[in-house]
Homo-oligomer: A and B are copies of this chain.
Amino acid sequence: MLTIGALAKRTGTKVQTIRYYETIGLMPPPQRTAGGQRRYDEAELDRLAFVRHGRQLGFSLEAIRELLDLADNPAQSCAEADSIAQRQLKQVEDRIARLQVLQVELKRMICDCSHHSVAQCRVLEVLRDHSECLTDHDNIGA
C-alpha cells in the first residue's frame, strides 16, 4: 500500500494535485488508515499514470475523463478514442503553426534591434505598428 507521497513520487505528480484529482472525481476516493490517511494500490497507480501521461500529451482533464470511461468499458469500438486523439492532434498542429508565425516575427524584431536607444527600438516599434499586426484577432491565448 502506497502513501500519497509515495504515489506522488512514482508518478511525478504533486501531492496536492492527486487530492485535487480526487475532489473533481478523476481519481476514486482511496482506502484510508484508521487515522484518516490515504492508501493507494497498484490499480490506482495505473489510473494516475494514465491521467498524467494524457496530460503530458496535452489532453484536457475532460478528454482524459472520456478516455478513462472508454477504458472502463472495453466492449465498444475504439472509434471514439480515436476521434479524441484526432481532435488533440489537430489542436497540437494548430498551435505549432501559430507559434511558428510568432517565432518568425520575434526573430525579425530581435535581429534588427542592437542596442540603439528605445526611441528607434524595433521591438517596441513592431508592437506599436498596426500595419505589421497579425491579422488573426481571435485565438490569442491558446
Per the 8 Å Cβ criterion, residues 52-95 of A in contact with B are 52-58, 67, 70-71, 73-79, 81-82, 84-86, 88-89, 92-93, 95
Size class of the contact patch on chain A: 35 or more
Q: Does A34 lie at the interface of the complex (its beta carbon under 8 Å from any beta carbon of B)?
A: no
Q: Choose among B12, B58, B95, B117 the residue that contacts A75 (Cβ–Cβ < 8 A).
A: B117
Q: How far is the CA of A123 from the CA of B78 in the complex (A)?
A: 8
Cα distance, A118 to B124, chains bound together (Å): 53
Most buried by B among A89, A107, A116: A89
> In the bound complex, do residue B46 and residue A123 qualify as a contact, i.e. CB atoms below 8 Å apart?
no
Residue from B85, B88, B113 within 8 A of A113 (CB atoms): B85
A99 and B99 contacting across the interface, CB-CB below 8 Å: yes
Contact of A123 with B67 at beta-carbon distance under 8 Å, contacts A49-B133, A106-B92, A118-B74 already known? yes
CB contact under 8 A between A102 and B110, given known A12-B137, A77-B115: no
